Chain A
Amino acid sequence: MIFRSEASRGYTLSAPATAYVGFLVAAPLLILIAYSFWTQTYVTLDKTPTLKNYSDALADPLVRHLMLRSIWIAGAVTVVTVALAYPIAYFIAMKARKKTIWLLLITIPFWSSYLLRVFAWKLILGFNGVMNSALMMLGLIDEPLDFLLYNEFAVVLTLAHAWAPFAILPIYVSLQKIDPSLLEAATDLGNSPLQRFMRVTLPLTIPGIIAACLIIFIPTVGDYVTPALVGGSDGKMIANLIQVQFGAANNWPLGATLSLIAMLSVGFVAIVFVITATQLGRRIR
């Protein structure tokens, strides 16, 4: 044997991956933090530490508005996606005969390019798009509907579609883990199917629900493609503002500050959510 102990072999083999990810998480973060204390004056970077970026960002009503809207939209996306996904996960775990086929069917669309899927929704929801033309052809409407695209609804619908497998899989796993005799025990002790679901199935899938919510909520707050393509001006989110700072506005310190504020806000909301959900789960007896 080359390495003396199991532990040292474990460290050596996992080192490249962990070091790579660790470096690419920590180093940019440190530089972002540094940038957030500097100032951009036209083309030069002033490296005198200042909190001005933070006070500017927090005082700017646009930043506050976009941040709150990002969190609100991400929250709505999370709720809608998980609510739509739970029955599917339940169906696959508890009722479906060919579980693997169903899981495969659910995940295949997810492997097409995210950009293309969002783009497809833009084509469907557009004023002269697929949905309006189809409805008019069927004679259901006379005029194209103008509330389909370029608003929060379009963003929520598109993202609920994009995140579907991420919501289904964790919930499916937690449902799959439930010992069937627990459900029989609940029935045996007098529960109707609905009571049984509320008192046993639901509390036991709370970890899966929490995982699904986090996997969806966190990246959604920082989503760029969907608001840019289908959000219009009513659907723009914080990521679009950050992109502008790193692009056209060329104000990297402000962009870095906004990134950090977004991360902290997401982290805060996520922690509050996890604690609340866990507490609610404990209440069920």
Chain B
Amino acid sequence: MKTVTSSEGDRDMTAPRTVHCLVMTFVMAAMTALPAAAQDAGTPNKGALSDAYTGKAYSPYAGRDYPERPLWGDSHLHTALSMDAGVFGNRLAPREAYRFARGEEVTSSTGRRLRLSRPLDWLVIADHSDGMGLAGDVIAGKSSLMAYEQAARWHAGIEEGGDAAVQASLDLIGAFSQGTVDPEMMAQYSPGSKSYKNLWERVVAEAEAFNDPGRFTAFIGFEWTSLIKGNNMHRVVIMRDGPVRARQVVPYTMGAPGSPDPRDLWKYLTNYEEKTGGEILAIPHNANLANGIMFPLEAQWNGKKLDETYVTQRDKWEPLYEATQIKGDSEAHPYLSPEDEFADYGTWDVGNLDLSEAKTKDMLAGEYAREALKRGLEIEARLGTNPYKFGLIGATDSHTSLASAEEENWFGKHAGYEPKPDRMTHPMFKTEAGTIEGHMQLASGLAGVWARENTREAIFDALMRKEVYGTTGPRMHVRFFGGWEFTPQDLHSRTPAASGYLKGAPMGGDLRAMPKDAKAPVFMAYALRDPVGANLDRIQIVKGWRDADGTHEKVYDVAWSGDRTAGADGKLPAVGSTVDIANASWSNAIGAASLGEVWTDPDFDAAQKAFYYARVIEIPTPRWTAYDAFRFGIALPEGVAGSHQERAYTSPIWYTPGS
């Protein structure tokens, strides 16, 4: 395995010369081959081609039919309309959320001015469908609500402010997650009521007002907040469509007339498409707080066995999984992946969503993306369809209306965790089952979408085909292609992506049928650091496969910075660290600005189902906790991590024997 970094390329000017000759020859070949293959205009003869491409007048960039840059977005943001967000003090309506996302300066709920360092390209406001708008009315003390003992009590608590407000908020969330909110009161904030319909129309109109095709995409969506005794089964629902279709329905809820069963959600999604002719999808998140019920192997949450309907429906409606966000990272868990030294990142394994039940080790396998991808292979062998054939993205799940995932510009889970000196040490949840401390929050995540245009249609279609990746906040560019014929020249050309699409499948796809003379799949993975961010430590390819003994996984280091070589244990030494926690700073003195490799699976067995995804790891940088400590002039509390290695996860590419 070879390390490729641009900084090394700079220093060594002699070697690339010969490579460049080869590269240019190849580029020319690719240039002429690409349009012919990509279009349906017959096969041009040689004469026509040489007329068309007159040397340097030819621009390989005009009319290229693949995406040039990832479109950055947050697929999961809450505003004041979400019950819990409102209760925790969020006063910002969708309007402010859109304005902030597209790069404008806004004032947070706690009165601080802020803006993003760089705007987002798209946003999904996904407010909780259950009780949408309720919090705002409780806070305003709407008279028709005050007749309810719960509403009156919460209202009084919130009015009182301080700890009483926090307690009222926790009570409300608790009542909601345990299903003990007064049903009569809930009915006013549920599908079927006129006020609910009105509210939804406002949500739709607001998205429409900010949707600006080509510049900024505002999706219409909501969050279906299924909880089974505090075990998280949440899904974000996103529509491809505009108001004409979206207005024909109202969001689906967990409470009556909805249901907490994902199968009922899928019926709603089916009904949406049949009724409106539109398109819709669902993205689960926070399996790490599901206490084992998010990715079942044998039986569903209610004990019923997985069946054909379940696996085909899930495969159909849930093309993605949100693997990283503020409430922890659920790509991998150290208990499930003991060989993976990077698995313990943002681990939240204390209990379920409201900490009403503590976590036990046997639950973990139903909670982490990598294990689910493996389980999918297992279930596919049994039932014929892989229900967990999902791509990976990151999103914030921020409840502040502020889609902030940057460590040095981070505004917390909800309004109560906007910047202040004690937000690290103030527990988020505390029950007999355990404690989630404030400092455990992750300033994560973000989704990069390889779509050609910034429109609802183009981005939605990219989400459906899983041509997306998640990061824990930074905007590194990551490409990942799988095929049978990639060569190092493909990577060394000026347009590796052109070869990537021409000769293989991009992230989220399936390997093409194995050619007769092929021995193993070849992957082209490359990454550029965030242009204003930290250098890269390494690119890894994570493989999962299934054989007669069950499923397995292995993490391969495929490209890395510097002159490191793997030790006796097969592990690459750590990249080191330049982080100065006391001053919340770091430098790009280590790592590489870009990394890339063409990698052949050395352990391939053509008879085994497998998946491959790339994980790109940054050099260590300060966490938000270090910025807090520095800016507030306080010491980092004991046991609080001040630095970390941020990362990106691509959607997998699957291999199926005989396909």
Q: Does chain A bind chain B?
A: no
Residues of A within 8 A of B (CB): none
Residues of B within 8 A of A (CB): none
